[in-house]
């Protein structure tokens, strides 16, 4: 079995306990206006062009079978570009290939209490591939985490429950109108699925991005706290401050992005206190 990924990152420390390998699936059914991984959103393989790195040498054009017109994603331009200004984002991986990468760091997982985190994009959209990888990890005694935004049919969660040790569950906005405006979909299913995962007695870490001008109000955070506490008890709640580090990737994909300010440390502390 195979699936489309855009990155496998080793030695991660922000995606669950201990030292982890994070596997990034391509494709997402949400469109968060602040997304810092826009290359994760399309399920297709894409060509990215970082104009600020280009020195105009022309090698890409000479090596391209179509002289840079109507790209067929052959990857030649990226291969021959001396400045890494062109990049093919995403490719098909077999489950064995992914497992080979994951198993390289088994000793680090064991020493640190870490494991593997499947992320994206929305990794649950490629449910068959995800299920197979989770099973293989459990057969190898590796701790598994699934990072999800929760906007999928619950039957998909049911398939991965037996092989998932931890869910990293993203909540964005409590207010339904805000959610629809900035994420692109209604939040009802996401909230319902969170309740079902609590009922299934799974370990959950909640992750909330703090986006100034969108959800950085005490009112929104109190409402999110109410949503969480009325459904169960996560082992951790993380507030993640907005950062602009992914902005250059929008330009590389030929897209525009909404701008948001970065939240001040004092504001983050006030909002964190709501959950303490
Ligand atoms: S990926 Fe291939 S077809 Fe597309 S622009 Fe580059 S060289 Fe041309
Ligand atoms: S090969 Fe790279 S540096 Fe040279 S023109 Fe093409 S994109 Fe620019």
Q: Which domains does the chain have, with CATH numbers?
A: 2-43+92-275 (3.20.20.70), 47-88 (3.30.70.20)
Burial class (CB in 10 A: 0-12, 13-18, 19+), 127: middle
* Ligand 1 atom 7, closest CA: 64
* Secondary structure class of 213 (helix, strand, coil): coil
- pLDDT at position 132 is 98
The rounded Å distance from CA 84 to ligand 1 centre is 14
Tens-place pLDDT, residues 53-76: 999 999 999 999 998 999 999 999
Q: Is 56 in the pocket of ligand 2 (CB under 6 A)?
A: yes
Atom of ligand 2 nearest to the CA of 49: 7
Per-residue pLDDT, averaged over 251-269, amounts to 96
Q: Is 241 in the pocket of ligand 1 (CB under 6 A)?
A: no
- Find out whether 157 and 194 touch, Cβ atoms under 8 Å: no
- Find out whether 170 and 147 touch, Cβ atoms under 8 Å: yes
The rounded Å distance from CA 79 to ligand 1 centre is 10
Q: Is 85 in the pocket of ligand 2 (CB under 6 A)?
A: yes
- Find out whether 28 and 125 touch, Cβ atoms under 8 Å: yes
Burial class (CB in 10 A: 0-12, 13-18, 19+), 251: middle
The whole-angstrom separation of Cα 247 and Cα 48 is 13
Per-residue pLDDT, averaged over 235-242, amounts to 97
The whole-angstrom separation of Cα 192 and Cα 197 is 9
The rounded Å distance from CA 85 to ligand 2 centre is 6
- pLDDT at position 143 is 98
Per-residue pLDDT, averaged over 20-29, amounts to 98
Q: Is 66 in the pocket of ligand 1 (CB under 6 A)?
A: yes
Q: Is 101 in the pocket of ligand 2 (CB under 6 A)?
A: no
Per-residue pLDDT, averaged over 132-151, amounts to 98
pTM above 0.85, yes or no: yes
The rounded Å distance from CA 61 to ligand 2 centre is 8
* Structure-token pair, residue 78: 């990226």
- pLDDT at position 35 is 96
């Amino acid at each position: 079995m195979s699936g489309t990924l855009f990155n496998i990152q080793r030695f991660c420390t922000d995606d669950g306990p201990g030292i982890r390998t994070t596997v990034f699936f391509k494709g997402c059914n949400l469109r968060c206006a602040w997304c810092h991984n826009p290359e994760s959103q399309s399920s297709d393989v894409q060509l990215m062009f970082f104009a600020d790195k280009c020195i105009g040498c022309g090698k890409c054009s000479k090596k391209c079978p179509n002289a840079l017109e109507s790209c067929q994603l052959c990857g030649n331009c990226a291969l021959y570009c001396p400045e890494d200004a062109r990049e093919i984002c995403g490719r098909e991986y077999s489950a064995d290939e992914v497992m080979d990468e994951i198993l390289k760091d088994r000793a680090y997982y064991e020493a640190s209490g870490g494991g593997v985190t499947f992320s994206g994009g929305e990794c649950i959209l490629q449910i068959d591939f995800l299920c197979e990888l989770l099973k293989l990890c459990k057969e190898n005694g590796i701790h598994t985490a699934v990072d999800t935004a929760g906007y999928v049919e619950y039957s998909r969660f049911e398939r991965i429950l037996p092989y998932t040790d931890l869910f990293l569950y993203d909540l964005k906005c409590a207010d339904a109108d805000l959610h629809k405006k900035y994420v692109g979909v209604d939040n009802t299913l996401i909230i319902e699925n969170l309740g079902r995962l609590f009922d299934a007695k799974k370990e959950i870490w909640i992750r909330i991005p703090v986006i100034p001008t969108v959800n950085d109000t005490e009112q929104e955070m109190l409402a999110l706290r109410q949503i969480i506490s009325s459904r169960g008890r996560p082992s951790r709640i993380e507030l993640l401050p907005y950062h602009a580090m992914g902005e250059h990737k929008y330009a590389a994909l030929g897209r525009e992005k909404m701008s948001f300010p970065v939240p001040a440390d004092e504001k983050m502390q006030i909002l964190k206190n709501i959950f303490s």
